[in-house]
Amino acid sequence: MKAAVVYGPGQTPQFADFPDPSPGDGEELISVRAAALSPLTKSRASGAHYSADGVYPSVAGVDGVGVTDDGRRVYFAAPEAPNGAMSEKTVVSLRQCIPLPAEIDDLTAAAIANPGMSAWAALIERAHLVAGETVLINGATGSAGHMAVQIAKHLGASKVIATGRDPEALEELRPLGADILIPFDLNTANAQGADQFESVLKQQFAQGIHVVVDYLWGESAESIIAAIAKAAVDTIPVRFIQVGSSSGGDIVLPGAALRSSSIVLMGSGLKSVPMPRLMASIKSVFDAFALSHFTVKTKPVPLSQVAEAWDDNSKSRIVFVMP
């Protein structure tokens, strides 16, 4: 069969032949239709992600949409190496397949599953969001941030605050449910930009923010934590949920910021949320689609172009379509 094959750590997948998978006990053989390119997919393929298997050669892709041998259209996740989602066929555990509602087409299902899961799990499994609370999405201009804004509103957030480095991209979040937009520029040569960002955040935290969903980490997370401490609203504990680290893997965390605030820091992702709960989060996103019609920009690409599209930096979520 044809697949996106990764031959070694840090290497770009190649469109090549790969042995057909054979299902074992409790597994489904799936004819794949679509698989999205996500930061998790790229990080695992490179071997950099903490959950990477380190098996090479292997097929790229952590999840996708396909059809079982008996004709059921399903979303599937986490095929075991060397199998992956970006291939004509794959095998996955029965527990990691979810029937797809007829209202969702293949491209949309593949595109919203991973970012939808990350947002739903962060807000429900980790933050235990309560309707009427205020949510801040840090780094909201990507696909995951777009989904987080929509899902927060769907779950009853009274106010959604979105931050990001691209003012024009932030404006696209207004019709999706963002009530307040906070652009920032944290260039280290521009201290005024960081100071201004922290000042605006401090005002918002003084008014009350209950949950932060962070997709960036790095300097912007430091500014948010500092603003929480300086706002010092004793009656409003802030649940800070760390999901992604596109701005850096480490931060400087002053102990005083923890001692002088009621912030609760936690992560959300593979291993911090059990796989059955992650799958339940994805099912919840699909179930909610019929009511809220979540949207995400998609860019269908033939799998044969995987090497060329792997580092595509477009705003749309790339979804590879099988031959």
DSSP states along 285-300? HHHHHHHH-----EEE
Assess if residue 210 is contained within a domain. yes
**Taking the alpha carbons of 181, 289, 217, 312 in that order, is the dihedral positive or negative?**
negative
HEC profile for 8-20? CCCCCCEEEECCC
Tell me the pLDDT tens digit for each residue of 127-181. 999 999 999 999 999 889 999 999 999 999 999 999 999 999 999 999 999 999 9
Assess if residue 191 is contained within a domain. yes
Percentage of the chain modeled with pLDDT above 90 = 77
Highest mean pLDDT among 23-32, 45-54, 151-160, 241-250: 151-160
Residue identified by tokens 């597994």 is: 27
289 burial (CB, 10 Å; 0-12 / 13-18 / 19+) is buried
Assess if residue 40 is contained within a domain. yes
Residue with the larger pLDDT of the pair 43 and 15: 15
Are 18 and 81 found together in one domain? yes
Are 244 and 301 found together in one domain? no
Assess if residue 11 is contained within a domain. yes
Are 135 and 67 found together in one domain? no
Query: Residue 235: its pLDDT value, please?
Result: 66
Torsion of CA 293, 294, 295, 300, to 10 degrees: -90
Assess if residue 276 is contained within a domain. no
Are 155 and 223 found together in one domain? yes
Are 244 and 129 found together in one domain? yes
In sequence order, the 6+-apart residues with CB closer than 8 A to the CB of 182 are 161, 162, 163, 164, 170, 197, 200, 201, 204
Are 11 and 90 found together in one domain? yes
In sequence order, the 6+-apart residues with CB closer than 8 A to the CB of 278 are 77, 117, 121, 270
Give me the mean pLDDT over the 77-102 stretch.
95
Assess if residue 280 is contained within a domain. no
Closest among 175, 143, 173 to 299, alpha carbons compared: 143
Its domain, for residue 234, covers 114-267
pLDDT band at 290 (very low <50, low <70, confident <90, very high): confident
Are 82 and 195 found together in one domain? no
**Would the pLDDT of 315 be above 90?**
no
Query: Residue 117: its pLDDT value, please?
Result: 96
Query: Residue 236: its pLDDT value, please?
Result: 78
- What is the C-alpha separation between 320 and 246, in angstroms, rounded? 23
CA distances, 221 to each of 50, 81, 97 (Å):
21, 34, 35
Instruction: Indicate which CATH number applies to the domain containing 133.
Output: 3.40.50.720
- What is the C-alpha separation between 139 and 160, in angstroms, rounded? 13
Give me the mean pLDDT over the 38-47 stretch.
84
Are 86 and 131 found together in one domain? no
Query: Residue 110: its pLDDT value, please?
Result: 97
Query: Residue 52: its pLDDT value, please?
Result: 65
Assess if residue 278 is contained within a domain. no
Helical ranges in the chain per DSSP H: 39-46, 106-120, 143-154, 167-171, 191-207, 218-231, 255-259, 275-292, 306-309
| Residues 13, 310 contacting (CB under 8 angstroms) | yes
Per DSSP, what are the bridge partners of residue 273?
270
Are 140 and 167 found together in one domain? yes
pLDDT band at 285 (very low <50, low <70, confident <90, very high): very high
List the helix and strand counts (H, then E) for the chain. Answer: 9, 16
Q: Compute the mean pLDDT over every residue in the chain, rounded to the nearest whole number.
A: 92
Give me the mean pLDDT over the 294-321 stretch.
92
Sequence length of the chain is: 323
Are 127 and 213 found together in one domain? yes
Residue identified by tokens 């959300």 is: 268
The structure tokens listed for 144 are 């995951």
Instruction: Indicate which CATH number applies to the domain containing 65.
Output: 3.90.180.10
Domain count, the chain: 2
pLDDT band at 188 (very low <50, low <70, confident <90, very high): low
pLDDT band at 189 (very low <50, low <70, confident <90, very high): low
pTM for this model (two decimals):
0.91
Residue 99's φ and ψ, nearest 5 degrees, are -60, 140
Assess if residue 86 is contained within a domain. yes
Percentage of the chain modeled with pLDDT above 70 = 95
Are 56 and 142 found together in one domain? no
Are 131 and 248 found together in one domain? yes
Query: Residue 41: its pLDDT value, please?
Result: 87
